Amino acid sequence: MLQQYAVNDDTYDGKFHTSNAVYHATVTSLVHCASLCLDDMRCLSYFYNTQSKECALHAISFKHTVPSQSGDGWKFYLTEDRSGRCSSDDGFIYYRDLDFCYKIYDPVPGNISDLKLTCDSANAELIKVDTEEKQKYVELISADFPVPKVCIQGTDTIDPQQQWTFDDGTLMTYFNWNQQHHQPEGRKGNLVTQLCIQGTDTVVDNSWTFDDGTPMTYFKWNKEYRQPDGGKGHVGI
């Protein structure tokens, strides 16, 4: 029984992407390219050129990344899982190499509780980054996100000794703290995330305002984090 197959997405006709490809070479046919993707547990999508017979396999779905190159003859194919491991009908993607399902939501303002409720409604949870391989994969799929932060599981509010755990109380054993930003900022019940607030210098040139254009009059910049990082169209987060 075929549990993985690919569907042509004509949205990206004439476009392709070779950066970070898990495989890129000339093959004999489209079927050959599809077979290579099926055999490679890292492959989620692929580009195939009907003229040159180039084949580029990728570990991302390109739902949140736009192909960077253009050329005649290129077609894009996105794999779909039919093993029942996760439901693609609900927008979930199954990454075979790490055996996990994930769904990327549009950026939303809110706190960690709101985000957890969103996951709960989909019978899911915030992602557990518990290995270096998963850390690198999250970095790959989030590289082109329009926001600087991604929420993941991690809290020191459950364990009596305030050790870092996942939401179910399981101790975290893999960490990739950013020491320059003084992580982990624990012993305060802080979660591994940051609260997004309004604040932008994109509405009025070189002036910080709220999203509706109202000038901001109160500021508490964190100089250690080199705030404000304005003058570049950055939103204050």
Q: What is the pLDDT confidence band of residue 60, given thresholds at 50, 70 and 90?
A: very high
In this structure, of 55-59, 198-202, 223-227, the range with the lowest mean pLDDT score is 223-227
Distance of CA 64 to the CA centre of its chain: 8
- Helix and strand numbers (H, E) in the chain are 3, 11
Q: What is the CATH number of domain 106-194?
A: 3.10.100.10
Task: Assign a CATH topology to domain 4-81.
Answer: Hepatocyte Growth Factor (3.50.4)
Instruction: Give the model confidence (pLDDT) of 88-142 as tens digits.
Output: 678 888 899 999 889 888 777 767 788 888 888 888 899 999 999 999 999 899 8
Distance CA 194, CA 97 (A): 29
Q: Give yes or no for a contact between 207 and 236, defined as CB atoms under 8 angstroms apart.
A: no
Residues of the chain with CATH 3.50.4.10: 4-81
Residues of the chain with CATH 3.10.100.10: 106-194
Instruction: Give the model confidence (pLDDT) of 161-201 as tens digits.
Output: 989 999 999 999 998 877 777 777 655 544 443 334 456 67
Determine how β-strand 100-102 pairs with β-strand 93-95: antiparallel
Through-space distance between the first and last CA atoms of the chain, rounded to whole angstroms: 48
Instruction: List the one residue out of 91, 61, 100 whose CA is nearest residue 77.
Output: 61
Q: Give yes or no for a contact between 233 and 202, defined as CB atoms under 8 angstroms apart.
A: yes
Q: What is the pLDDT confidence band of residue 152, given thresholds at 50, 70 and 90?
A: confident
What pTM was estimated for this model as a whole?
Answer: 0.70
